[in-house]
Amino acid sequence: MRDLKERTKQFALRIIQLYGALPRTSVARVIGKQVLRSGTSVGAHYREAQRSRSSAELVSKTEGALQEIEETGYWLELLADAGIVPSESLNDLQREVGELTAILVTCAKNAKRKMKGEP
């Protein structure tokens, strides 16, 4: 598996490209800014988690990344459901949202286990 730091960066770059390709309507721009903000925040939170000074901070930052990826999924759904972007154009991004969500859930669970002193 690719390094998660690089994977979240590549995800952010894809979100940036999506934003740049959105129609110039006010609705598309409002939703686009939301997806841009949350989609680029995932990697930032993950990087912060890697620099955590404590287990509690690691859990908090990892869960922050998880919140951002889940929010990104929501905005992508709205772009498709509102007919702003064809849903098939978003399939790869939505698949990546699902995979990153699963990875981050596992990371958060493992960090919590370690924090409790469990193996």
| Domain coordinates in residue numbering, the chain | 4-115
Report the sign of the C-alpha dihedral through residues 49, 50, 53, 56, in that order.
Answer: positive
- The string of pLDDT tens digits covering residues 83-99 is 999 999 999 999 999 99
- Nearby residues of 64 by Cβ (< 8 Å), 6 or more positions away: 41, 45, 48, 49
Residue-by-residue pLDDT tens, the chain, 119 positions: 459 999 999 999 999 999 999 999 999 999 999 999 999 999 999 999 999 999 899 999 999 999 999 999 999 999 999 999 999 999 999 999 999 999 999 999 998 988 887 66
Query: Is the distance from CB of 59 to CB of 35 less than 8 angstroms?
Result: no
CATH T-level assignment (fold) for domain 4-115: de novo design (two linked rop proteins) (1.20.1440)
DSSP 84-109: SS-GGGGHHHHHHHHHHHHHHHHHHH
